[in-house]
Amino acid sequence: MEIIQIVGLALTATVFLLLLRQQKPVMAVLLGISFSVFILWMMLEPLQTILETLQQLTEKAGVNTFFIENILKILGIAYLAEFASVLCADAGEQAIAKKVEFAAKILITILALPVMTSILDMLLHLLPA
């Protein structure tokens, strides 16, 4: 199981980080970033499976792909921003982490506007004039 490998690697990296952080803090940050990137790399295949499954479901349901694509972009922004924000915070750069989160919120809002507009239009057409 992948989760057992991830947990094992995480515990090993944590022990190394604890030891390394006392002697060489810069190397500890690099190890933390390297571990994080490795985990992201390990998750690319499962993410691809999720995307393919969602695409198949969208085609079967006949749902407008515009909405699904927007939702997937929003999820992608949220996950990547969280990933980058945590990396920055781990490196001791909380201010940069907050800026990444802020930028992600703005981008998510921009992507959500067409969906919200479409929902509002549908509601206005349903209401009697």
Q: What is the pLDDT of residues 51-92, one digit of tens each?
A: 899 888 888 888 778 888 898 899 999 999 999 999 999 888
Quote the pTM value: 0.78
Question: What residues have CB less than 8 Å from 32, skipping those under 6 apart?
Answer: 13, 17, 87, 90, 91
- Phi and psi (nearest 5°) for 62? 70, 30
Domain ranges of the chain: 62-129
Closest CA to 88 of 103, 79, 80, 98: 98
Tens of pLDDT, residue by residue over 5-28, are 999 999 999 999 989 989 998 899
In terms of average pLDDT, the best of 43-47, 72-76, 98-102 is 98-102
Match 């945590």 to its residue by tokens.
86
pLDDT at 33 over 80: yes
User: Cβ of 10: how many Cβ atoms within 10 Å?
Assistant: 12
d(CA 110, CA 124): 22
Match 């809002």 to its residue by tokens.
109
Q: Where are the alpha helices (DSSP H) in 24-91?
A: 25-42, 44-61, 65-90
- What does the radius of gyration of the chain's CA atoms come to, in whole angstroms? 20
Mean local confidence (pLDDT), 94-122 = 94
d(CA 36, CA 40): 6
The model's confidence at residue 129, banded by pLDDT at 50, 70 and 90, is: low
Note whether 8 and 19 are within 8 A (CB): no
